[in-house]
Structure 1
């Protein structure tokens, strides 16, 4: 990018640090605050009483409203115990504009023997006003079928998202109890900001928000009271990038009925650019799926072109430092 990014990881009390940020200066806020479930976050425990937790939430969300630009958006993760109260605070008390209640579905989670095992978290999407930015083309998912009348740039992903948890064996797993997938944050950041915008995470934790900002060309501000997590975030920003650690499996979906060779060739190249730009490691999977579906219709030249796409991607992955987004880390 022409302008160097600014990536700030700030250690401090969230309410005090938010007060230092200029009003109407941030384009997007994406955050996963403590759910008040008595989790151990090292230097802090998430165990306020009911009224104190809601008062704390009211204060930090109020500061976020002040900081947001008039066309800005805020996404807040929240567990089931408090989400209805947080919703009421945001809509009724702070008069933010409700847009979407997003469900993040995951296939692995807490096991229960009495009652049903939880398999989702929720994300509230509110905007500061009725006039807000939303970049649908940046987050579309592939169509199931090729049709000339369809928008082959893709469809709206809807409000139920499936991303896998970051398993403890994942090489990107950090020492944080509630680390969220990068692909999840990628979707929100791409949907509600553009390159050069400023994104804030008041509870940065393992640094996922700032890492995604770094790799998508956004300025990032992350706050956390735990100094260990701030150190973790700064170290994470120095790591090589080989693609985000999670992906909506639909992004590698190969449309049916790509029977015309010229249409198929053009679409395959477009698919990689449109849907897999930050997921080089998924290109191989996508090309394999293309061959399984269409190899019997391809000549040697087209098959060779597919193999070259995979080779180019592997070469790109093997030279990750060339792909690092520039930016100063503070």
Structure 2
């Protein structure tokens, strides 16, 4: 590994961040699919690795070297959280900010290849911030049909003295065929507290009474203000610098895939897309360049065998932040 494992840091007693120990690394490493193994699988079967050989696996490899070895049109849903156009250190590998044209060119090296892996009826979500969102829109429009842009409130972050604090991120939502795609809005309703209950003939109208309070199920919009960024007290947290919340990805997965569908993440990071897919009864494929993040992803996947909980999602609904005790 190219850096010290995260478990060597001194942490507070209540810190629940997932870390790696030297003792567990060999076993976790044996569960990863390496580029050499992927190349051998592709060589035996032809140009592409067999689908069954990559399902429910974490591929520890460079995306540009691995993507052509995967079968085309295998994914029902693709979720992408690429490096934003910011200078950011990913555990020893630094992605440097660049001009908008250069970032467009960077996207062009891999995004069309990733779209080839999407089924004709598939959906794709790609994450970004204000600085790179226009580049993402241009890249997506060349390959797919954009249906919406989700903006979600990212409440965590440092203040800014000479600019507005960046408290939002975007997710572009696109499909291959706007006349034939899957979307289940019933699966992503939000349970919100009713502040001013309205009754008709003495009975609740469009809301329900419970021991925990008064709640209403509402249809989701493209602005999400109920997401909590993983932090040290959450059991899903890792040391990945841009980790996405399981609740965020659960909304995308439940809305745009069915049980047993395949979810593909070409920038897996510490594993949120694969882990959330597994918890929700989907199959998955993830590619991640960094070995330590790949190992963290595998550890989280193993934990998901016995723990299917997703913070903020229970009883088949998404709860408004701080609404459920």
The answer to whether TM tops 0.5 is: yes
Q: Superposition pairs for residues 269-288 of structure 1, below 5 Å?
A: 273-275=315-317, 286=324
Partner of 1:15: 64
Out of 277, 294, 315, which is 1:230 matched to? 294
Which ranges in structure 2 are unaligned for 5 or more consecutive residues? 1-53, 198-203, 209-214
What's the secondary structure of 1:124's corresponding residue?
strand
Mapped contact 1:101–1:159 kept (Cα < 8 A): yes
1:186 partnered with 2:254 = no
Partner of 1:47: 96
Offset at residue 275 of structure 1 (A): 1.4
Offset at residue 75 of structure 1 (A): 0.5
Which shows bigger deviation, 40-49 or 175-184?
Answer: 40-49
Partner of 2:150: 102
CA separation in 1, counterparts of 2:253 and 2:207? Answer: 29
CA separation in 1, counterparts of 2:216 and 2:112? Answer: 37
Deviations along 1:216-265, one digit per CA (max 9) or x if unpaired, are 11111111111111111111112252621x42xxx7xxxxxxxxxxxxxx
Out of 260, 276, 280, which is 1:212 matched to? 276
* Structure with the higher strand share, 1 or 2: 2
CA separation in 1, counterparts of 2:260 and 2:79? Answer: 16
Mapped contact 1:137–1:153 kept (Cα < 8 A): no
What's the secondary structure of 1:36's corresponding residue?
coil
Partner of 1:28: 77
Out of 283, 289, 309, which is 1:243 matched to? 309
Partner of 1:200: 264
CA separation in 1, counterparts of 2:84 and 2:268? Answer: 14
CA separation in 2, counterparts of 1:142 and 1:285? Answer: 8
CA separation in 2, counterparts of 1:86 and 1:225? Answer: 21
1:68 partnered with 2:110 = no
Out of 26, 38, 50, which is 2:87 matched to? 38
Mapped contact 1:140–1:153 kept (Cα < 8 A): no
1:221 partnered with 2:276 = no
What's the secondary structure of 1:185's corresponding residue?
helix
Partner of 2:17: none
Offset at residue 6 of structure 1 (A): 4.0
What's the secondary structure of 1:56's corresponding residue?
helix
Mapped contact 1:27–1:68 kept (Cα < 8 A): yes
CA separation in 2, counterparts of 1:220 and 1:80? Answer: 29
* Structure with the higher helix share, 1 or 2: 1
Out of 28, 36, 58, which is 2:108 matched to? 58
Q: Superposition pairs for residues 262-301 of structure 1, below 5 Å?
A: 273-275=315-317, 286=324
Which ranges in structure 1 are unaligned for 5 or more consecutive residues? 252-271, 289-330
Offset at residue 169 of structure 1 (A): 3.7
Aligned-CA RMSD value: 2.7
Mapped contact 2:267–2:286 kept (Cα < 8 A): yes
Offset at residue 149 of structure 1 (A): 11
CA separation in 2, counterparts of 1:275 and 1:182? Answer: 14
Which shows bigger deviation, 211-220 or 168-177?
Answer: 168-177
> TM-score normalized by structure 2?
0.71
Offset at residue 47 of structure 1 (A): 1.0
Offset at residue 34 of structure 1 (A): 0.5
CA separation in 1, counterparts of 2:206 and 2:223? Answer: 27
Deviations along 1:19-42, one digit per CA (max 9) or x if unpaired, are 112111110001211103111002
Partner of 1:160: 223
Assess, with a 3 A threshold, how the Cα gap between structure 1 residues 168 and 84 changes in structure 2: closer, same or farther: same
**Structure 1 stretches of at least 4 aligned residues deviating more than 6 Å after TM superposition:** none
Offset at residue 214 of structure 1 (A): 1.1
Which shows bigger deviation, 14-23 or 162-171?
Answer: 162-171
